[in-house]
Amino acid sequence: MSLIIGMKANDGIVIAGDSRGTIGDPRGLTAINDNHTKIFQFGKYGIGLAGASEIGAVLFDELRKTNISKEPNIDTLVKGMAQISVQLFTNWFRDIPPTARPGILFTIAGFRKEESKSPEAMIYLLNSQMNFAPQLFKNMPCMSGIPQYAVYLVHRYYDSSISLERAKALAVYLITETASQDPKVGGPIKIAEITAENGYEEITRDELDKIKLKNKKLNEKLRQFFLKGDIDGTDT
């Protein structure tokens, strides 16, 4: 399984994901593999992939063979991805209704650019079991895979005024906290930022490690607050 996060900030977009794949029925015993790549650059856009990873990889490879990643506007990109994905899934699973087909979820993050208007951050979701009908996330982050814990935390901590730096920390926090509760999410995190000026840029492993360490320290401060009375861990 997976947890993919697409989150708008006031100065960009963050897209992040775990690396855990599971084999077997998730209602029982499963084997895990933490070598899955789920966050990809697609031109100046970011793509997150959740669901049936092997079929999703083939579908994404077919999309890469086209020139669709060169589309200058994310709306046109999403429509093209949806059309190609529908055609391929219809060929592969002609006699199977969309709701019974393998689940593939694409999170697509980038900017809408129109003349005389400022670039607008956009996040879309394409779901194979909804026949790849585009879903637009305007006010809240897009979370696919296993989002239950992340949804709860987002309602507590997210606001659209968040900065890009803080959004990266929150995205990492959502994944690590989910992984602490659900073993179907885990492994190394991959995270990238997308800005109107620079497009897609992955953050370094060193920056990611610093974010995780700072989040851990803040978690410990919160724990000490409940145990001892104030944020510094001293009695009140």
Domain carrying residue 129: 3-203
State residue 83's pLDDT score.
97
First vs last C-alpha separation in the chain: 44
Q: What is the DSSP letter of 100?
A: G
Count of alpha carbons within 13 Å of 178, Cβ hemisphere only? 32
Q: Which two tokens stand for residue 113?
A: 């650019």
Ordered DSSP codes for 44-78: TEEEEEEESHHHHHHHHHHHHTSSGGG-SSHHHHH
Structural domain contains residue 33: yes
Structural domain contains residue 59: yes
State residue 234's pLDDT score.
52
pTM of this prediction? Answer: 0.91
From first to last of its 236 residues, the chain has per-residue pLDDT tens of 799 999 999 999 999 999 998 766 655 656 677 889 999 999 999 999 999 989 999 999 999 999 999 999 999 999 999 999 999 999 999 999 988 999 999 999 999 988 778 999 999 999 999 999 999 999 899 999 999 999 999 999 999 999 999 999 999 999 999 999 998 999 999 999 999 999 999 999 999 999 999 999 999 998 888 888 776 645 54
State residue 235's pLDDT score.
52
Give the C-alpha separation, 136 to 132, whole Å.
Answer: 12
Query: At a CB cut-off of 8 Å and minimum separation 6, what does 102 contact?
Result: 51, 52, 55, 93, 128
Structural domain contains residue 230: no
Q: Tell me how many domains the chain contains.
A: 1
Angle at 146 between CA 145 and CA 148, to 5 degrees: 135
CB 164 within 8 A of CB 197: no
Structural domain contains residue 212: no
Give the C-alpha separation, 215 to 189, whole Å.
Answer: 14
State residue 236's pLDDT score.
47
Structural domain contains residue 225: no
Structural domain contains residue 220: no
Structural domain contains residue 192: yes
Q: Which helix (H) or strand (E) holds 199?
A: strand 199-202
Residue type, 37: T
CATH number for the domain that contains residue 71? 3.60.20.10
State residue 231's pLDDT score.
62
Structural domain contains residue 228: no
State residue 15's pLDDT score.
98
